[in-house]
């Protein structure tokens, strides 16, 4: 089983929060996680959650208007 979990992490004396894929052993205890965060770092759990809510809201708002990354990069290079 796996899911996303919030981890706190020390960055040069500052505690920041990140979202990591987390994997569980047969007893349901976390036993491994992604080395790099899937999202973050953020200054607080609240900030992390608010950023994720904003991302989901924006993705829902523009879900039918998907940008083509390769096309956008090519257009930028032409400018």
pLDDT band at 77 (very low <50, low <70, confident <90, very high): low
Residue 27 main-chain phi, psi, to 5 deg:
-95, 5
Q: Which two tokens stand for residue 63?
A: 């879900």
Range of the domain at 72: 2-78
* pTM, 2 dp: 0.79
Using one digit for the tens of pLDDT, what is the confidence trace for 48-64? Answer: 999 999 999 999 999 88
Q: What is the tally of structural domains in the chain? A: 1
């Amino acid at each position: 089983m796996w899911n996303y979990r919030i981890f706190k992490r020390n960055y040069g004396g500052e505690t920041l929060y990140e979202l990591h894929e987390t994997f569980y052993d047969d007893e349901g205890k976390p036993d491994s996680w992604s080395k790099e965060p899937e999202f973050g770092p953020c200054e607080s759990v609240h900030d992390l959650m608010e950023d994720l809510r904003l991302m989901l809201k924006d993705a829902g708002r523009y879900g039918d208007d998907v940008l083509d990354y390769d096309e956008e990069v090519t257009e930028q290079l032409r400018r």
